Amino acid sequence: MNKSQPKYCIGQMIHHKLYDYHGVVLGVDAVFQLSEEWYQTMARSNPPKDQPWYHIKVHGEDSLRYVAERHLELDKNVFN
């Protein structure tokens, strides 16, 4: 596998580029760690498994999301 260093760390505020939600990073996996069944059902855009994935607490919700790094960016609103 071609592991890469995570861009984001625990506590950083992020923005999901596809689904336009904001949240905070609660955990980081260097590579995909959930089941193949979860990946086939939930990861419809087929993001790479050999790059970092993040545990995200969504702002204003009780939900947690597991998100591939390629879908995330720093939340620019935090700095305004």
Domains of the chain with bracketed CATH: 13-79 (2.30.30)
**Could you read off the pLDDT of 21-32 as tens digits, one per residue?**
999 999 999 999
Q: What is the pLDDT of residue 52?
A: 98
Mean pLDDT confidence for 12-41: 96
- What is the biggest distance separating any 2 CA atoms in the chain, rounded to whole angstroms? 40
Does the pLDDT value for residue 2 go beyond 60? no
Q: What is the pLDDT of residue 4?
A: 80
